[in-house]
Amino acid sequence: MKRHSGLHVIRLATLLLFGDCLPVVHAQELLTPLQCRPAAMQVSPASKQTPALRLPFFDDFSDYTGAPDAARWLQPSGAWVNRDYDALPPTLGMVTLDAIDARGQLYSHASTSLFAADTLQSLPIRLDSVWDNAPHAARPSDSICFSFYYLPGGGSGPEWERVGSRPGPQDSLILEFWNAAQSAWSRVWSTGGNSVDSLVAATGHRWQRVALMIEDEDFFSVDFAFRFRNLCSLDDNPLPGFAGNADQWLLDYIWLDACRSRHDSTMHDVAFVGAPPSMLKHFQSMPARQYTPDAMADSLQIVITNRYSSPIATRYQYSVYAPDGSRVAFYDGGYANVPPFLPDEVYQTAPAHARPPVPFTFPVGEGDQTFLIRHEVREGVGGDERGENDVMTFEQHFADYFAYDDGLPEKGYGVVSTGQSRIAVMFQMSVADTLTAVAFFFNRTLNDENTGITFRVAVWNDAGGVPGEMLYCDEALRVADAAQVGSFQRYALEWPLVVSGTVYVGLVQQMPGYINLGFDCGRDRRSRCFYSTGNVWRTTVYSGSLMVRPYFGRAAVTGLDVPTLRDPAVLTLFPNPVRETLHLNLTGINTEGSVAVVYDVMGRPVLTAAVGGGQAAAIPVTTLGKGCYLLVLRDSRGNTIASKRFIK
């Protein structure tokens, strides 16, 4: 059984340990595994019967994301193709095996004990014959080799820099071949869980290469197939909101062919590595109205690898296409030699290819627009053996919202506190605009635990690089809609708010619990993500972006039907503004044992007063300075039953 290995706890305000029990804390910043796959990562329909494939078989998962390619892989498959769970795979893209099924949910039989999870299985392959210049029946002397690269999840370095979940020693990745002679699967290779750091220490490499010669004639059949399986176990987390995806394995560059050797580790292949970048300095997307030339990145970071054994001269270029398909910008980096990746694991360093400049601006007009950026790296005129990894594209969106994230979370984020907590994200405006809605990405949790946690949408101004005075806070309590978790949920403000300069958009959580917001680990904007449980705002230590998006303009709220948990009782405050004594009219409220807590614009409790059992009460406020305040009425169990603003 594993103990909390996927639960990252940072910056404890108060921490008491009792033996081997879970830490008891008053406030903590948490990053947890996902419990479902985002709705954007859809699975493919079940495979249809097709003719068996022929050699060679190759997939480096570079030209698609989501479900494995149905032209090569049996469907449905719990495995999924992505570009974010490792920054430097062998080539662009990888496939991940984990504890989430093909429907995007944790396996129904998942537990802290070992259980079978994903299967990545090839379609049938004609391994009875070799289809070279002289086709013939397969034989051991044909030197048929199966190779691949694997990497345990969890990344390397400090915990707050890591992506994914590390498999434990009892977890495993298994490779099996179909043995037609025995009508059974034969295990040909497996490995137990390990950390990336320990593999680097042992081998000098992050990604581990495995090569197997296929010499047993029982495998030389018309319906040969291979499959990867993983056995995993959930982290032993005490609350449903913390439990999540675990024990990830990454696979790439899967290659089956004849006329190879076990040591044949190279291919005449130049390729991109890592996800294509945004051309904006800070954002993945931004409002068209907020776009200025200053928003452009000065240059891009492009990673190019050479999988061959000697240097290769390549040409790099990118093109930018407007929504109507016309090309509006072009960059030609010319030719440069790419050194071989092995044995020293080096990439292209020529600045014209590795750090291409961005000497243009987008011709952004009004309304939603999407520009397509197409990157290409080619060897000579004819190209190399694998053309699919020589091209990558990025869509640059200009709409009515800001986004630091790419829309797909790798983790869940929240602040667990015994009292009120606040989360805010910094956005810098080039011109004044009208904020009308805020979208939050809520991850799905076991039993939808986070959908019962109440919060208020809030906006703060800037106080020297941290959130300052509260500009806006909902009067109504909000909750996440259980039907929409695993995607962005947009909440209309109760009134439009004109903002300018630097603002902070987020939420005030009104009750204990882990709200589990989406966290994009692949785009590091931690300096713009803040949290607070008291008087001090702190930036998150976690590398990534909190998935909070502010929306601007009337169109952002058109037709919006946002679930809210309205205050269930009527609370009236008078006089308002007040000088000395604030009177409360408590119509329809059972005030037995209730307490009134007054918060300042920073969200700090500044006054607490017991409220009697009648329908009216009076609270002296002479100790309060001039300003705006929020009075929250809580019952004997600490639940919020009503709230109202007042001015002194």
- Residue 399's nearest CA partner among 539, 283, 229 is 283
User: What pLDDT, on a 0 to 100 scale, did the predictor assign at position 364?
Assistant: 96
User: What pLDDT, on a 0 to 100 scale, did the predictor assign at position 37?
Assistant: 62
Helices and strands per DSSP (H, E), number in the chain: 2, 44
The whole-angstrom separation of Cα 304 and Cα 414 is 36
- Residue 425's nearest CA partner among 438, 410, 435 is 438
How would you write 120-147 as a 3-class SS string? EEECCECCCEECCCCCEECCHHHCEEEE
Instruction: Name the token pair of 190.
Output: 């497996």
DSSP letter, residue 417: E
Give the pLDDT confidence of 268-325 residue by residue, as tens digits.
999 999 899 999 999 999 999 999 999 999 999 999 999 999 999 999 999 999 999 9
Cβ atoms within 10 A of the Cβ of 444, count?
27
How would you write 421-488 as a 3-class SS string? EEEEEEEECCCCEEEEEEEEEECCCHHHHHHHCCEEEEEEEECCCCEEEEEEECCCEECCCHHHCCEE
User: What pLDDT, on a 0 to 100 scale, did the predictor assign at position 382?
Assistant: 66
CATH T-level topology, domain 411-565? Jelly Rolls (2.60.120)
User: What pLDDT, on a 0 to 100 scale, did the predictor assign at position 44?
Assistant: 52
Q: What class, spelled out in words, does domain 33-257 have in CATH? A: mainly beta
Evaluate if pTM is beyond 0.85.
no
The two domains 33-257 and 411-565 share their CATH topology (first three levels equal)? yes
Give the pLDDT confidence of 161-198 residue by residue, as tens digits.
677 778 888 899 999 999 999 999 999 999 999 889 99
174, 190 contact by CB (below 8 A): yes
Partners of residue 192 on adjacent β-strands: 172
The whole-angstrom separation of Cα 539 and Cα 542 is 9
The whole-angstrom separation of Cα 583 and Cα 576 is 9
CATH T-level topology, domain 276-399? Immunoglobulin-like (2.60.40)
The whole-angstrom separation of Cα 44 and Cα 156 is 32
User: What pLDDT, on a 0 to 100 scale, did the predictor assign at position 588?
Assistant: 66
CATH 2.60.40.1220 fits domain 572-647: yes
User: What pLDDT, on a 0 to 100 scale, did the predictor assign at position 28?
Assistant: 75
User: What pLDDT, on a 0 to 100 scale, did the predictor assign at position 38?
Assistant: 60
Q: What is residue 1's three-state secondary structure? A: coil
User: What pLDDT, on a 0 to 100 scale, did the predictor assign at position 589?
Assistant: 67
User: What pLDDT, on a 0 to 100 scale, did the predictor assign at position 126?
Assistant: 95
Residue boundaries of the structural domains of the chain: 33-257, 276-399, 411-565, 572-647
Q: How far from chain centre, in Å, is Cα 400?
A: 22
Q: Pick out the chain residues at pLDDT < 50.
A: 1-26, 40, 562-568
